[in-house]
Structure formats: structure tokens, C-alpha cells
Structure 1
Amino acid sequence: MRPVEEYKVVQDFLARVCKQVRARAMHPEIREELLGHIEERTELLMLEGNAEEPAVQEAVKQMGDPGDIGKSLHLAHRPQMDWKLLVLLALLSIVGLIGSLTVDYADTEFVAGFFIRKAFFFGIGLILLISFYFLDYRKLKKYSGVLFFITLCLMALTLIRGVDVNGLKIFLVFGPIAVPMLGVTSVFLLLIALAGMKPASQWGPWESAFHILYRGVLPIVLYSLSGSMVYMFIYLLGFLVLTWTTKKSSKQFALLVMLPFIGLAYILFLKRFYIMWRLEGLADREGDGGYFMRVIADAVSSAGWFGQGFAAPNPGIPYVYSDSIYPYLIYCFGWMFGILVGMVVLLFLARMWSIANVLHDSYGKNIVIGVIVVLGLRLLIPIIMGLGVVPIVSLDFPFISYGGVNNMLDIAIVGLLLSIYRRKNMIPSEVGEAAPMKVA
């Protein structure tokens, strides 16, 4: 206990201030900051010739009314809602519902009842968003290691007992639900787990070798065995980003990522003929490999500024309900609509980035960074695919295209981001990051 804190007048003052602040986790930081101000004022008064006890009493008096200070601090540390992120999510979800209705009325083959199913999964996702919003995300941290291990086990089980769809074994069936365990589900779970695991800056030499194999190489091998190359790249990028943010030094980071890159190079070598075929389709759209890109490019170029109209049929566009929904919506509603959707996506990503920048809790910040990597790539790649910049790959458009579990998971993840933002002023700052407290 500090000498000044021994005085009852100081103890009463601090107790009355903290009584007004409901964020109890902030009480130690608030007390420490206020004590610092009282000590400074006490020292100045004693230099003016006052005895210690009268100086302490006068210093407390100069601090102002403890009730008013407590109320202002409560307002500063109360839960916050990120309405901007929520509005942007609503806009993307509305685009998704409009798109599903468009696909339904276009009588697209194999997609009957698209809107009803999309609305159903959106409703479940909304319930999950609300649940995650009120969840204290910090409670997840102690389960990070277990979550990572269980996710790897489920990924391995998917390779053994999963369902093969279009040559990819990424779905694990639980009753009536098919979960893409070697798709976006595992990527989110692994990166959220990595955010709470022991950071790279605390690894020893042998520990570094183990974690690189366990956290870096093993997931990459599992993704490659399933044929899920896109999600392998997304996870690898997320792993590299989180390793960089928790590294000890640039030299350590270079050594840590060497082995995963060697594994990636080997996998790309094995897949070189397929990759070359896809790249040839990008360069030569008149060949067999460029058929899908040619069809999509024709649809987008013929759309004009305002499109061909609601539910305009275009049977040549493949997978209009998932991979190609963005170019199909441009075909129906025009280039202007496509530009507006692109702007909303960029604003959504910028908002997530701004959330990461205002956080003082490293665990919450790492979660947000991992989510930015996953959602960023999944939001941007379908757009640039629709513009013919990159080869067509199997990748859904979050919040917009169809995908029951993916839709629910994406919306739930936004709920987790809202939970992190909600507590941004309710968690004590880490060492060296405390902001100065203003008092009267």
C-alpha cells in the first residue's frame, strides 16, 4: 500500500469513485491512476509548507466530487456497440437476401427454395451473433490449446470419414448438418485458437521447432490432402500474420516460417500441372480451361450500368448461388450495383481494421487480425474473380452467397468481433499502453 493510501480520506474517495464504475476489472487501474494524481498534488502542497495530513486532505478535495468522477469514468468504461460494423453487416446481408431471391426467381437449376433457406440460416446466424455479443470472449483463451487440438482431430477425421463433393473431401457430416471442417470452419477455429496460445516471442529453440510443425506444417498437410488449396493458403497467411505479430525478432520470424514455406513449395510442385492449367485458363479464355472465365466475363461486360433486370436468366454462369453470385448480381443489376457492393466490402474491412487498432488487449487484437485475414480474402477474392483478374476457385462470398454453416459461422464471427469491441474500454490496458486519465 502506498503511504498516501493509508489515509482514510483517500480510501473513502477511491471507494466512492469505484462504486460508480460497473466495470470491476478497471477498478485497480482507476485506483492506481487516481492515487498517482493525489500523490502529485500532495507533494506540491507539502513543498508549499503544508504538513502531510493536511496536504493529503487538500489534495483529495482538489480532485473534485468522487461521485461525479465515478460517473464520468463509468461512461468511459461502459459497454460499447459498434453500430458501424453492424450496419455494414446488415447491408451485406440484405444484398445476400436480394441475391437469393433473384436466383430463386431466375429458376436456376438445383437451387429451388434458395431464399427460404438463406433466410433460415440468416436467422440462426443472428441468434448466434447476439449470443456471442454478450459472451465474454476472454473466457475462450484458456481453451485455446484444446480448441486447436480438437480442430486438428476433426480435420483428420474428415479425411477418413468425410463426404466427397466435387473432388474435395472437406465436409464432415453430423446428422443432417454437413460442416466444412476442412474449409472455412477449421480456418476460423484454428486462427482463434492461435490467438490465445503461447506467443512466438516466448518460444525456446526446441519449442519453436515443435510449434512450427504442430501449428504450421500439420494443418497445411491436412488441407492439401483434402484438396482444399484455397483454405490452405488462407490458413497459411493467417498463421504467418499471427506469428509476425507475436514474434521475438525479424530473424526469429524468418526461421519460423522457413519450414511451412518449404512444405508449401513441395505441395505446389505436386499440384503444378493443375495450377498451370488454371493459369492457362486465365491467359487463354478461348481454351477449355478458360470456359468459366469467358462466360463470366461476357455476363459482366453485357450488364451495363444498370443490368439486365431482376432475375434475368443466364444459364451459362456456373454456381450462381455460391462462387459466381457476384458476377451474376452484376449481370442482373449492373456495374453500379457491383461498385456499391465493392465499396461496402471495403468499408467493412476498414471497420474491422479500425477495431483492431483501438484494442489494448493483445488476445482480442489477435482474434480480430485473424478474422480480418479470413474474411478479407473471402470477401475480396470473389470480387476480383468476378472481374476476371484471378482464376476461378471454389470460394463462397461471405454473407451474400449460399452456404448454411458458412453463413451462420460468418455472422457468429461478427458477433465475436462485437463482443471484443464491446469490452474495449472495460479491460485494463496492458503494461505500457495505459492512457492518461483526465480528472478535474
Structure 2
Amino acid sequence: MDIRIKELVNAAQETYGLDNYYLHTHELYREVSILGKTDYLLSMEWFPSHITEWKEDYNPEGTAVITIDLQSRNYKSVIFVGGKSYANGAPFQNIDLNGVIQWMEAEAGIVYGKGFHLIKEQVGEYHFAESIDGVPVSPGGRMELRFDAEGRLIFYSVYVQFPSRSLVQKENYSLTLQAVEPQAKKQLQLIEYPVYEMKQFLPIYGIEEIYITNDGTTIPFEIISGTKAQLNIDQVIHWEQANTEPFVRTEIRLQEVVTIEQAIAREPHPDSFPITDAELFKCIAGVEAGLSQLYPDESGQWILKTLHRERGHIQATLRMNAPSNRIFQRKLLLFIDANLYKVINYMDNKSLLDTFDEFQSEGEIAVSHNEAYTKLKGWLELTPVYVYDSGQKKYVLCGKLDCNYAVKATSGDVVELGSLE
């Protein structure tokens, strides 16, 4: 074991009182943040000392799975499998909100109310979300702590961006629901909501959440909901001649091997590089060739929505050109070889959507779009959120337009979305 890794291993054992444990496995890996930063991490699996032989594919109860950032040396996660800990002592003498906040501030180097805020608290469990001066962030990081009945730490996780102030476009929040009413009306959609118990589609009017900037520009929720920087395309894919050769899948490598030398040198992850114009042209051609082979009779039926790098490949996300009113839409992921620009694997959610084939629609539409909006208008929510704009490479202050209620299109009743599940 490299002496630099050994130092981190020893520190983790001492910090979390793992005297009754032994290091079972460890590995180095790297990941890319939405800001394009490459993070190198050390993952360790500590087995309880009384478990000397283990041949299962999963970790035994009480295993301590610990991940640490090699650069900051901050712990990203500490998880005791099954909520069982054999560790000596506990890092907290008194488990209360103030004590937890103080520990989180020291551990992550951020200030409560400025960089994170509480979103949920219950006995022995605390959930926090990333924020900028108290305003939520999207995509937003999460922080969580859990303790067992004896007050021992059994779960700790902190996955956040913590952007520098230079990346935040400061401005005063000036949006009101009255000002965004035109956008709100556009976001009110008639959709078919599946009710599994009844095997029916319930037609409802609901708000498709969206982000709105102070100047009225909109950012679709789907575009910023992931953690990868995406290139937005929105291009219908056509081809004249289908490829009749059978498609052969190539296995996608889930985890790359990373060396300590790469980590020390902070070698950029291949996924951190932007997709160039030349690569974009080749990717679109590769998507066209792949689709003509996978779905030869569906020219013009697919829209290439986005491209982004993923685990050494380029991933293309596609949607149907003629979407239905159902809440779950057809989605296709194509994995493109980053050197050959050829589709080598794919994922299609059609099999999942086929489970709805037996569902029947409930009743006739009896409520108009305008009537539904009038009923929902008082339930609309517009809350400030800092949204990462990949084009500007800045966090921009927006209003998140959302609604937790819907209108049944058959009766006009206003219902809470959670009650439909």
C-alpha cells in the first residue's frame, strides 16, 4: 500500500474509532462535478474484526464504508451497513441540532445559513441542503447525518458543490406570481397520471415545474436536474437508408482504474473536457447511424435532446418527436464511443412503459385549460433558487415555478399530487 494511502487509512481508523475493524478493501476513483472539476476520492471498506471469512457479494452488517476526498481530506461519506456500528465511542457527546451544525461547519468548512440549511429533522436524523446565502441551489447538494439509539454515528454523507463567490451572479430577486402568469399558463399541462391500484390513467391538469430568471428567460427543470454539464441539441434525427446489420452491444465499463500518481498529479477526468464542435458533428452522425440500425423504421421520430460525457463515453439522450400526454415519456440513452463516435450500447425505457398497456383512461375531459388554471392559481408556488447555467458557467438567481396540487380533468376537483400515488 502506498504510504500516502496508508496515512489516510490510519487517519480514518482513528477518526471514527475503528479499533474493532480491519481494512477489507480500498480503491481510488475520480468523478467530475457539474462545474467540470475533477475530484479524486479514496473509498474504504472496513469489516468488523469478528468477521474473518466472507464470500457474499454484499457487505456484512456493521461494515464501515468510508469515502474521503484526496485533496481536501474531507470525508464525503461514512456509512455503517445495516445501521450497525462496532466503533469505539462517538464523535458527538450531545446529539442536538446546534451540535450537529457546529460539527458540519467544521467538517465541511461552510457556515450554516450561508452554505447550507436544514430541510428535515427527526430523532437521530438530520437532513441539510446546499444553499447560497440561504437560497436553495439547483442542482443542489445534500448533507445527511444519522445516529443509532446509543448516539453513535451510523450515516454521514455530504455531496455538494460549494461554488466560489465568483461563480454566483448576484442580483435582487424581483419575480412575482403575477409577473410570471404567462409562463405559468404555458406550464399547465393536461397529463395522464397512472393510478396503479385501479390500473387507470387519471387525466389531470398539473404544472410542469420550470425555472424563470428575472428577465423572464426560462430554464426547463430537466436540463439542470442532473449532475453532468450537458450540451443541449434539440435536433430531429432523420436518415434515408436503414442499417440492416444486427446491433452488437459493447459492455460499458462502470469503474475505471485510477492510480495514486494520477491523483497526486490531479490529472483531469476525460469527462471534464467540453464536447467540441467537431465532436458534436461526429456525435450527431453517430446517433443517426445508431438509430437507423436500432430503429430502422423510425426516421424522424426521435429528437436528440442532449449530449454529455459519461464514464469515458459520450451519452446521448433522446425523446420521441411526438410525445404523449402520459406523465412517463419514452426515453432513449445511446452510449457513443468517444474515439470512434459509434453507438456501442443503449438503454430504452419502452419495456417499462409497456406495463401501462392494460391501463384504461378514466372518463371524459370536462374541464378546460382556462378553468383548470383558475382553480390552481391560488396554489402556485414561486420560490427563489440559484440555478447553474452551463452556458454562462454561473449560478443565476431564478424563481422556481411549481405546484403541489392538480385539477382532475373529469370533475374539476383540486387534489394534492401526493394523494394520487
> TM-score band (shorter)?
under 0.3
TM-score (norm. length: structure 1): 0.22
Name the structure with the higher strand share.
2
Larger radius of gyration: 1
